[in-house]
Chains A and B, each alone.
Chain A
Amino acid sequence: MLDAEAIARIVRRIASEIIERTSGSEQLAFIGIRHGGVPIAALLAKSVGQAHHVTAPVGAIDMTLYRDDAGSALSIPKGDEITFDIGGRDIVLVDDVLQTGRTVRAAIESLLAYGRPRRIWLAVLCDRGERELPISADFVGREIAVPKGFVLDVIAEGGPGDRVLLRKKAAS
């Protein structure tokens, strides 16, 4: 669906939208949701830095312990990486794919344990729709409807192998 070049273009476009919408905030910071959102957060921060000459800090958040199905689908947390004070900042929360919105809800709650940002924005590379919670993204790379029986593969790390691919689910 998207190749490396298309993804790079989308990242640049979202970066300029972020600068515009946040009125060039000096307090901008990017936090990627583990695991898919982390490299994209880094790409966005870099792109914003190039266009805007501001170094926005980048962090990672693991929402495992805030899942609303915790205890049922047990997964081992990998931990957060937030080395700056988020209080009073404009935080752009970043994920690769937005679907039900449950991950984003958990990530927001998880983030608030670190302080009180001035505002949290949401940027996603792909929006599949299919929401189960009243959550919407402020910045969307591409809306992609995923038909039943298909899965969406996203690799976006700033390399030539980057792609967004729709492929048939393997029979299990």
Chain B
Amino acid sequence: MTAPFRHDHLIGISQLDKEDVLQILEASKAFLDVSRRPIRKVPALRGKTIVNLFFEASTRTRTSFELAGKRLSADVVNISSSGSSVSKGESLLDTCKTVAAMRPDVVVIRHSASGAAELVARVVGCSVINGGDGSHEHPTQALLDAFAIRNALGTLSGLKVAIVGDIMHSRVARSNAALLNLFGSEVRFCAPRTLMPARAETLGAKIYHRLDEALDGVDVIMLLRIQRERLEGPLLPSLREYSRHFGVSQRHLAIASPRAIVMHPGPMNRGVEIHPALADGERSVILDQVEAGVAVRMAVLYMLAKEPNAGTAAQAASIPPPA
């Protein structure tokens, strides 16, 4: 029998070791099978409540978590809040108290402030999954990316992975770099100087400002979305200019490894960071990432929604299941 998962929360990849990641990825395989059956639902989390607490707009991640919870038979509640009107710290804590009173088993939180997930984990009294906090971490995205990479290339070790785009604001880049570093893969960040954080190399990546150099011989080309709202600031002159220097198209595949795959966490700006032909091409695993997302989130929800302690567990085991 496999040892149970040793964490109460999933705040970031930084808390995990290699074994934890492999445990999640192995379990995700079984959950991927569930999603491919005629009946895509198992009773594993019957009677459990999952709250999706989203302070930031998100359709894809929220839907993925919602579907994952429902396929495990949990009751899933979505709470969305803009969080712009009230002083943010107060509003977050007040919302947490309200949510805690609903007695959920797992809270999934997305928030624009880095560190929000950890704060919620301290006060809410149940398992917390970070669904993205500011520019800090987005662990389930890194896990589903790892699942898709492993599925396509058979390994997570010894790879060269280029992450191209707005590294500065990207929690996806940070979480992916942390995970790939665990397995000894080389991570390359590629961005214009204005979108590269200071001391980016401390995140475990090599820094590039030229696309052709960054993509040389890589096994994975991971593109990040250029957020149009960044254009309002001084960071980017125009989409067209970004696209000319950092947009990836079919011709770049010749620079990369022959087995290279193309990834994008979505939503894509076709024609900006990724050429449409590449997004729809045979090297693209973008839709596999979406499918993996539900499976990985099922695995994480399943592993975190366990009973709080052994005493409760022993008691629960002696109660027969409802008819």
A150 within 8 A of B: no
Please report which residues of chain B, range 79-105, place their CB below 8 angstroms from some CB of chain A when the two chains form the complex: none
Q: How many residues of A contact B (CB 8 A)?
A: 25
Interface assignment of B33: CB less than 8 Å from any CB of chain A: yes
A68 touches B321 (CB 8 A): yes
Which residues of chain B are within 8 angstroms of A24 by Cβ–Cβ distance?
A: none
Q: Is B314 an interface residue (CB 8 A)?
A: yes
**Is A80's CB under 8 angstroms from B33's CB?**
yes
Which of the four size classes fits the interface of chain B?
35 or more
Q: Flag A30-59 by CB within 8 Å of B: 1 or 0 each.
A: 000000000000000000000000000000
| Binary interface encoding of chain B residues 280-323 relative to chain A, with 1 for a CB under 8 A from any of its CBs, else 0 | 00000000000000000000001101110000111011001100
What 1/0 flags go to A60-82 for Cβ under 8 Å of B? 00101111111111111111100
B316 touches A69 (CB 8 A): yes
Please report the C-alpha to C-alpha distance between residue A74 and residue B26 in the assembled complex, in whole angstroms: 15
CB-based nearest A residue for B306: A74
Specify which of B48, B303, B314 is in contact with A74 (CB 8 Å cutoff). Answer: B303
Please, which residues of chain A bring their CB within 8 A of the CB of B37?
Answer: 113-114
Query: Is B1 positioned at the interface, with any CB of A under 8 Å from its CB?
Result: yes
Q: Is the CB of B30 within 8 A of A71?
A: no
Q: How does the 8 Å CB contact mask read for A85-129 relative to B, with 1 for contact and 0 for none?
A: 000000000000000000000000110111100000000000000
Q: Assess whether B198 is interfacial by the CB under 8 Å rule.
A: no
Q: Is the Cβ of B31 less than 8 Å from the Cβ of A69?
A: no
- Chain B residues within 8 Å of A132, by CB: 320
Q: Give the docked Cα–Cα distance between A74 and B312 (Å).
A: 13
* B26: A residues at CB distance < 8 A: 76, 78
A70 contacts B33, CB within 8 Å?
no
Closest to B312 in A: A72
A74 to B5, Cβ gap below 8 A? yes
Residue of B nearest to A113 (CB): B39
Set of chain B residues within 8 Å of A75, measured between Cβ atoms: 1-2, 4
- In the assembled complex, which residues on chain B have CB atoms less than 8 Å from the CB atom of A65? 30, 34, 42-44, 72, 302
Partner among B23, B48, B72, B313 whose Cβ is within 8 Å of the Cβ of A72: B313
Chain A interface, DSSP helix/strand/loop, else mixed: loop
State whether B316 touches A72 (Cβ < 8 A): yes
- When the two chains form their complex, are residues A76 and B27 in contact, meaning their CB atoms are under 8 A apart? yes
Confirm or deny: B45 has a beta carbon within 8 angstroms of a beta carbon on chain A. Answer: yes
A75 to B3 CA separation, bound complex (whole angstroms): 7
Q: Are the CB atoms of A77 and B321 closer together than 8 Å?
A: no
Closest to A109 in B: B43
Check A66–B42 contact: CB distance below 8 A: yes
Q: Say if the beta carbon of B169 comes within 8 Å of chain A.
A: no
CA distance A105 to B70 in the complex (A): 22
Chain B residues in 8 Å Cβ range of A76 = 2, 23, 26-27, 30, 303
Asked if B42 contacts A113 (CB within 8 A), the reply is yes
A78 touches B42 (CB 8 A): no
Alpha-carbon distance A114/B37, docked complex (angstroms)? 7
Residues in A with CB closer than 8 Å to B302 are 65, 74
- Least CB distance from B216 to A in Å reads 38
| Interface contact B31-A77, CB-CB below 8 Å | yes
* Residue in contact with B30 in the complex, picked from A69, A79, A114, CB distance below 8 Å: A79
Chain B residues with Cβ below 8 Å from A68 are 320-321
Contacts of A80 in B (CB 8 A): 30, 33
> Is there contact, CB below 8 Å, between A114 and B42?
no
Look across to chain B and name the residue whose beta carbon is closest to the beta carbon of A68.
Answer: B321
B45–A70 touching, CB < 8 Å: yes
Q: Does A66 contact B43, Cβ atoms closer than 8 Å?
A: yes
Q: Which residues of A contact B2 (CB under 8 A)?
A: 75-76
Query: Which residues from chain B contact A71 at a C-beta distance below 8 Å?
Result: 44-45, 48, 305-307, 313, 316
B275 at the interface (CB under 8 A from A): no
CB distance from A142 to the nearest CB of B (A): 25
Residues in A with CB closer than 8 Å to B317 are: 69, 72-73
**9 nearest A-B pairs in the assembled complex, by CB-CB distance:** A79-B30, A72-B313, A68-B321, A77-B30, A65-B42, A113-B39, A65-B44, A69-B317, A76-B2
Cross-chain pairs A/B with CB under 8 angstroms, 14 sampled: A64-B44, A66-B43, A70-B43, A71-B44, A71-B307, A71-B313, A72-B306, A72-B307, A72-B312, A73-B317, A74-B4, A76-B303, A79-B33, A80-B30
A contacts, CB < 8 Å to B: 62, 64-80, 109-110, 112-115, 132
B→A interface (CB under 8 Å)? 1-2, 4-5, 23, 26-27, 29-31, 33-34, 37-39, 41-46, 48, 72, 302-303, 305-307, 312-314, 316-317, 320-321
